[in-house]
Amino acid sequence: MKRMLMGAALCLTLAVGLTAPAMAASQNSNKTKAPKAMSARQEALKKCTDDYNAAIKKAKDDFASASKDAKAKTGKDKSAAMTAATKAKNDAMASAKKNKADCTKAAPAK
């Protein structure tokens, strides 16, 4: 039993000892590489995506605040407020999608 435990401990020690330097080397190699320069198209597409994500986030936040206000109301006022909030969100999301498509088309060629 003692011999088996010693063998297992030895194997475990060797495995950790051999894999630790390899892991440390792979982490250090990522730090030394300089970031690649993005092309003009990639920068333009990144800007389009960032603008789209910001517009979607704003639409969702506006909808959340409008629906929170609508929940305080009752009856027809509540349903009208929820309908208006939903329509505003859908319009904002459609506009953001269209703007992203236009921005992508306007991006410089490869």
> d(Cα 108, Cα 43) in Å, to the nearest integer?
10
For the cut 80, the answer to whether the pLDDT of residue 102 exceeds it is yes
Which pLDDT band holds residue 91 (cuts at 50, 70, 90)? very high
Of 8-17, 34-43, 75-84, where does mean pLDDT reach its minimum?
8-17
Across the chain, what does the average pLDDT equal?
Answer: 85
**pLDDT band at 18; cut points 50, 70, 90:** low
Highest-pLDDT range among 15-19, 28-32, 93-97: 93-97
The residue ranges of every structural domain in the chain are 40-110
pLDDT confidence band for 14 (50 / 70 / 90): low
Closest CA to 100 of 37, 50, 63, 28: 50
Q: What is the pLDDT of residue 7?
A: 79
- Per-residue pLDDT, 45: 93
Please state the rounded mean pLDDT for residues 19-26.
Answer: 66
13 is written with which tokens?
A: 């020690």
The 10 Å CB-count burial string (b at 16+, else e) for 74-107 is eeeeeeebbeebeeebeebbeebeeebeebeeeb
Give 21-81 as a DSSP string: HHHHHHHHHHHHSPPPPPPHHHHHHHHHHHHHHHHHHHHHHHHHHHHHHHHTS-HHHHHHH
